[in-house]
Amino acid sequence: MKKTLAIVASISLLVLASCTQEEDFASPITEENVVFIEQESDEFLTVEEINTIISHQLKEKGTFSWDEVPANVLWSAAVHGNELLTVGYGSKGESFREGKSSRLEAIHDDILLTIATSEGHTRNDLKYISDDVLNVIDVQVTTLASIRSLKAMSNVRYLEPNGYSYFTAKPDATVSSQDRSSSGCGMSGSTLNTNDYRTIAPGSLVSWTLDNHNVTQAWSQSTGAGVTIAVIDTGISPNQPLLSPGSSGFGDGYSNNNRTVEKYGTYIDSPWWWSNNLDGPNDKCGHGTSMISAATAPRNNDNKPVGVAYNSNLVSYRGTADVLLNDYHERKGVSNALRALGDRNDVKIISMSIGYLWTIGNVRDAVRYAHNRGKLIFAAGGTSTAITNAYPVIFPASMSETIAVTGVTDANNYKRCDTCHSGPQIEFTIVMERDNDNSRTAAVLGFYGGDNDYVGGSSVATATTAGIAALVWAKYPNWSRTQVLNRMRQSSELYGNPSNKFGYGNIDANQAVQ
């Protein structure tokens, strides 16, 4: 059978969501690394060969899809990824179900029977997890025959080796916590430049970034009271008292001491995909704490940074260990968080400063579920090393069901931050970086009480935009998601002539709440 030789040059790897730390997370693929890509083959591929195929698609198309690889590539990746395959089933676009469905149950059972037959097992011998809302099954698969049988089924929407990571995959597929990326993580505080904030009553620091969007002027009309913002990220630091419930914490200073903060964890820290031991709601990275601060930190009397919607309620989900969704449990954790938030009537806004290079099926299904329930979902357009920010807007910001946000500098013309992505999916921009000094970004609470910090990238731009949305929805509590979003668009600098890279541009929060 004829083989095609593909030689792929080395590319740098993305770091998604925060400028606090930049790393590469896999050995580079060099020109000496050659893989034979076979359209129809029984060959089991190495991790290096799989990654070369992925790199080739990324280089040629700017994205990657498991739908576009031969069955043996998918099989090889699944086996390397702890023998895990995620199966999305149902009709095209049928991401979830509203209730009991005998048709979907029959498809579900047929898939498991097909796998059991191909694997030489009974159904009772299969190791699998079925979602009770999303049309998704996570199942152990070891044979190429299973992949080929599933590919032939008309009611299979997608097949993804969700235990395989482009960044941290190893031949034995066992990835320790030390080997996982620490993308966007950082827990040490920073000394703020005095030109990067100003002090307002009763002793709060306003980040210079907020003044570019007239946020303090908007506070005369709205402070976010009565609106609940949900943040899906790495959780809240247990060491930051200003993000804890009570009058001495989340309700400090001018913030209402009756506003609420809830903390949940859906992330499981385990190399085994079938584990169900939740790792708790506490931040062990620092990124989630920074995002929560930017959106909701109290207007305190402690000379610490204040958030945009300082009277909104908060629901925090620790769905991931860091910002890069490269691990099965991170993907499952984010998916489960979206599902839970979709079921809450009090949550109007979801902020997600996390993502991945390409679409993750079960997360996409969960985004659609939450969106179907009226949630306004903001997602980071992407933050990377300066070399790789030519990549398109990342997932899930690339979805039509989310509102993509990116960061720009304080230059007079629109100039994205050094590590920010831009593209046609971007709706809004936030000024979050000094044009002449990329280390001076948004001022936020630190991981530890008493600390301040800087945070940049499309991450903080997203959290800031979610806060502005809360100001609008608090001013107009009976408005729909569409009305809130349209008001934000109409209050942005490029409304009427949106940019193909920056959407409607910078939002004027004060105009939005009028």
Nearest Cα to 459, choosing from 503, 385, 391, 406?
Answer: 406
Kindly state the tokens that stand for 245.
């419930």
pLDDT at 183 over 80: no
**pLDDT tens figures, 189-209:** 999 999 999 999 999 999 999
Q: Beta strands of 360-468 (E only): which ranges?
A: 376-380, 403-409, 426-433, 442-445, 452-455
pLDDT at 176 over 50: no
* pLDDT attached to residue 184: 83
pLDDT at 438 over 80: yes
- Cβ atoms 357, 391 nearer than 8 A: yes
Element (H, E) at 396: none
* pLDDT attached to residue 18: 45
* DSSP 8-class letter at 411: S
pLDDT at 441 over 60: yes
- Contacts of residue 386, defined as CB under 8 A and 6 or more positions apart, other chains included, come to 418, 419
Query: What's the CA gap between 470 and 223, in Å, rounded?
Result: 8
**pLDDT tens figures, 34-76:** 444 546 799 999 999 999 999 999 888 888 999 999 999 999 9
**pLDDT tens figures, 275-310:** 999 999 999 999 999 999 999 999 999 999 999 999
* DSSP 8-class letter at 464: H
Nearest Cα to 369, choosing from 341, 397, 331?
Answer: 341
- Strand arrangement of the beta sheet that strand 156-160 belongs to: 128-130, 136-140, 84-89, 156-160
Q: Which domains does the chain have, with CATH numbers?
A: 39-160 (3.30.70.80), 194-512 (3.40.50.200)
Q: In the block, which residue shows the tokens 């247990």?
A: 238
Residue 230 DSSP SS3 = strand
For 261-330, what is the HEC assignment? EEEEECCCCCCCCCCCCCCCCECCCCHHHHHHHHHHCCCCCCCCECCCCCCCEEEEEECCCCCECCCHHH
Nearest Cα to 236, choosing from 408, 66, 391, 447?
Answer: 447
Element (H, E) at 368: helix 361-372
Q: Phi and psi at residue 193, in whole multiples of 5°?
A: -65, 135
- Residue 386's pLDDT band (cuts 50, 70, 90): low
**pLDDT tens figures, 11-25:** 333 434 444 433 333
Kindly state the tokens that stand for 447.
């991981």
Could you tell me the CA-to-CA distances from 282 to 239, 257, 259, 264, 294 in Å, in that order? 9, 22, 20, 8, 18
pLDDT at 499 over 70: yes
pLDDT at 102 over 70: yes
Torsion from C-alpha of 22, 26, 31, 36, nearest 10 degrees: -140
Beta bridge partners of 507: 492
Q: Please compute the mean of the pLDDT values over residues 445-453 and round it to a whole number.
A: 97
- Cβ atoms 451, 302 nearer than 8 A: no
Kindly state the tokens that stand for 281.
């709601």
pTM assigned to the model: 0.92
CB count within 10 Å of CB 277 equals 9
Query: What's the CA gap between 456 and 18, in Å, rounded?
Result: 6
**pLDDT tens figures, 318-367:** 999 999 999 999 999 999 999 999 999 999 999 999 999 899 999 999 99
Radius of gyration of the chain (CA): 23
- Residue 8's pLDDT band (cuts 50, 70, 90): very low
pLDDT at 490 over 80: yes
* DSSP 8-class letter at 386: T
Side chain identity at residue 72, one-letter code: N
**pLDDT tens figures, 146-155:** 999 999 999 9
- Cβ atoms 381, 394 nearer than 8 A: yes
pLDDT at 3 over 50: no
pLDDT at 90 over 80: yes
* DSSP 8-class letter at 359: -
The crossing angle, in degrees rounded to 10, of helices 361-372 and 328-342 is 10
Q: In 120-167, which residue ranges form alpha helices assigned H by DSSP?
A: 144-151
Using DSSP bridges, classify how beta strands 403-409 and 376-380 pair: parallel, antiparallel or unpaired.
parallel
- Cβ atoms 111, 146 nearer than 8 A: no
